[in-house]
Amino acid sequence: MKISRNNQICWRVGMLAVLLMAGSCADTAHDFHSLPSEGWYKRSTEVFSVAVPDSLARYNVSLHLRHDTRFRYQDLWLYVWYATPSLDTLLCDTVRVPVAGPDGQWLGKGWGSLYQVTVPLRYPLSVVAGDSARLRVRPAMKESYLEGITEVGVSLKAQ
């Protein structure tokens, strides 16, 4: 029996979709917060509480920033608070999020006027059994309102 070219393409696309869905079932958790359209106020702290699939695992943490073309800076600086893997220290880290290159080209992934930039944090995170990962994120910029930042998020991926 000869399989038509269209059936072969459909079968391959279907298998690719199954593989992609299977790969997305990894030990990953994430949370995104939408920000006000007038901008992210410099004293506004976004608090994330992310339920993790495995409380015994250590997680690599990444910050995600979604923005549009109204954002006027090359970099965004953020304060990030989270617990160390030993759970005995609360870290406050200042994180640089590169948004545009020196030539003004937007970094990250996107289309049209919307883009997303992802930055890994330096330290892994552990969670006590039955608890959620808690992180706080706040702008570390002088500007009162940061226009163009549409969402901020965190993701945790098991090591």
CATH topology for 27-158 is Jelly Rolls (2.60.120)
Mean pLDDT, rounded, for 123-130? 74
**Does residue 144 surpass a pLDDT of 90?**
yes
Which letter, b or e, does each residue of 32-56 get, where b requires 16 or more Cβ atoms within 10 Å of its Cβ?
A: beebeeebbeeeeebebebebeeee
pLDDT number for residue 132: 78
pLDDT in tens, 46-63: 999 888 777 777 889 999
**Does residue 21 surpass a pLDDT of 70?**
no
Mean pLDDT, rounded, for 62-81? 95
Domain ranges for the chain: 27-158
- Predicted TM-score (pTM) of the model is 0.76
